[in-house]
Structure 1
Amino acid sequence: MGIEERDPVSGRKTTGHEWNGIKELDTPVPRGVLIFLIVTHVFAVICWFLLPAWPLGSTFTKGILETDQREIVEEKLVRAAAERASWMERIESATLKEIQADEQLMSIVNSTGHQLFGDNCAACHGVDGKGRANYPDLTDEDWLWGGSLDAIANTMRVGINTDHPEAQFAIMPSFGRDGILDRDQVRSAAAYVYSLSNPDYSTADNIDRIATGRNVYLSSCASCHGEDARGSQRVGAPNLTDQYWIYGGDLQTIVTSVHGGRQGHMPTWDERLTEAEIKILTLYVNSLQVEDP
């Protein structure tokens, strides 16, 4: 086949290559593509001169415009810190009640608190504050150590079961594992506790075990949870008569809790966050609470 052969359909020359009867046309690159390539190359050359571009050992070409993204970011951070300083000082010097009564400060609390919560608390309590397995819901009215502003702030500062000198400690003994109660007593106590939030469980078949479980409860559990089982925020003991459960309220989970005990943990934040940030988080968490329908 000659190199000057032309395709009878398009009229273009062929390259002389043929694969299984298919002949390759000698088609030029489209003009639009060539123009695009030329423009991008020219643009790149201009940028080389105007902007930081080429590394030179320990430094780099600065460019005619002398722009430095690091300096630009640092300047923005300085400006942002200056803008934050005024209202951060107001929050730090004001009481929680005073901040709560200030509409302007509360708008800052709501916007800043959401970010602080996401950065520091959401890993355990969830982005929406509703908690998850083994971590409490912060949007209900059921609090281990109290849901007032001062109680929330104090819990954040000192933590729960930490090495902070003022830490709040709440440890449920492992009644079964440590031999404090035998197997039958563990199951009876669990049955009684389960019946408190599930009245339908008190049937003729279960009534004797529940009665036995109440006696076990009064002798082993009431000192923390109270004789009425409504808990005590003084020692961080939860209410056992409602439907709010951290580790689960089904019968088998309650048996597991009584047998093996429970020991939660919340970090102390007084060295990780500033006083103003703790106040912001306190007010934000307080604002998440919703009334029961």
Structure 2
Amino acid sequence: MSDFTSNFWSVYVAGITIAGIVACLLLLWITARKKVASDSNNTTGHVWDEDLTEMNNPMPRWWMWLFVLTIIFSFAYLAIYPGLGKFAGKMGWSQYGAYDAEMAQAKAELEPLYARFTSMTTEQVAQDPQAMAIGERLFMNNCAQCHGSDARGSKSFPNLTDGDWLHGGTPEKIRETLEKGRIGNMPPMAAAVGSPEDVRNLSHYVLSLSGSPHDSLRASLGKSKFVACAACHGADGKGMQALGAPNLTDDIWLHGWGEAAITAMINNGKVNQMPAQSQKLTEAQLGVLTAYVWGMSNKPGSAR
């Protein structure tokens, strides 16, 4: 019970638990000893609805012994398993240990299934129907919550089918992203850009880089302010995969497009996180999932 930060709560929970069981046992004992005076016809004298009488029959012994056995079982359970504050139980069982054991068993059972994929290249795995069926299930269980079941993403969640990669779309980079995760950080840049009008002008210049609808006059005024962005996005606005800085010229907008969206990004910045999967998936599973993700943007006829 590592959630407890002091011995007080451990003792409190243990005390309440034991007191509750003892109270049940005491109640049973008192009830068994109490005798209700009965009339000669074996009734208690209580009558309802004129003719409904309460009989004075004793509690069935099998029910009483079942109740006693339940109390004995509860004491035995609390001695073997955790349930009394910080006491771990004689068996040392824990939900974390049970989870780890089940995961280890599952990995051992799945190892032969993945064995033949470990010696194959990502491209070869991406062409294997069985591997792709497995990869689809891995994707649905671990990735679809953010990227969607069709992997086309949504606002703030990248589309994995279009060939546009912030950190690179090679098998090695995809594997690195899956294994270690990513943290994208766009810092607030308004102070470096200038006044609110300068920020608006810069927003229109950014829109102009991709040919999106914009105010050409504001764009021309904002061009000089782009120097504050060039350190990450490059002087030509094509981004830098080494930094995860997006390409501003391809008309693909992860967090929304238009003056309002870009102005908000410049003013407020943005932090995005792709969680690491190395703690959830084995090396072989990461390899199959890498091939599945890579294959979605490298199908014949797909955008490269």
TM-score, structure 2 length as denominator?
Answer: 0.60
Whichever residue aligns with residue 278 of structure 2, its letter is: D
Aligned to 2:147: 125
Report the Cα offset of residue 120 of structure 1: 0.6
Taking the TM superposition and a 5 Å limit, the aligned residue runs for 1:274-285 are 274-285=282-293
Moved over 3 A (4+): 77-84, 92-95, 97-100, 178-181
What do you get for the CA RMSD once the two structures are aligned?
Answer: 2.7
Partner Cα distance (1:99, 1:248) in 2: 34
2:207 and 2:213 in contact (8 A); partners too: no
Partner Cα distance (1:192, 1:110) in 2: 42
Percent of pairs with identical residues: 35
Partner Cα distance (1:246, 1:199) in 2: 15
Q: Call closer, same or farther: CA 1:78–1:265 in 2, change over 3 Å.
A: closer
Aligned equivalent of 2:113, options 72, 82, 87: 87
Aligned equivalent of 1:215, options 209, 224, 227: 224
Q: Which has the higher helix share?
A: 2
Aligned to 1:147: 169
Report the Cα offset of residue 199 of structure 1: 5.3
Aligned to 1:171: 185
Partner Cα distance (2:212, 2:117) in 1: 47
Structure 1: 5+ residue runs without aligned partners? 1-55, 59-76, 162-169
Aligned to 1:182: 195
**In the alignment, structure 1 residue 268 sits paired with structure 2 residue 276:** yes
Partner Cα distance (1:98, 1:134) in 2: 31
Partner Cα distance (2:288, 2:162) in 1: 19
Query: 1:234-260: CA deviations, max 9, x gaps?
Result: 111111111211101122111111111
Partner Cα distance (2:109, 2:269) in 1: 49
Aligned to 1:27: none
Q: Call closer, same or farther: CA 1:152–1:187 in 2, change over 3 Å.
A: same
Partner Cα distance (2:104, 2:181) in 1: 32
Whichever residue aligns with residue 172 of structure 1, its letter is: M
2:193 and 2:199 in contact (8 A); partners too: no
Secondary structure of residue in 2 paired with 1:265: strand
Partner Cα distance (1:146, 1:81) in 2: 30
Q: How many residues align?
A: 202
**In the alignment, structure 1 residue 99 sits paired with structure 2 residue 125:** yes
Whichever residue aligns with residue 207 of structure 1, its letter is: S
Q: Call closer, same or farther: CA 1:195–1:179 in 2, change over 3 Å.
A: closer
Structure 2: 5+ residue runs without aligned partners? 1-68, 74-102
Taking the TM superposition and a 5 Å limit, the aligned residue runs for 1:1-293 are 84-100=110-126, 106-161=128-183, 170-176=184-190, 181-198=194-211, 201=214, 206-217=215-226, 219-289=227-297, 291-292=302-303
Aligned to 2:4: none
Whichever residue aligns with residue 211 of structure 1, its letter is: S
Whichever residue aligns with residue 99 of structure 1, its letter is: V
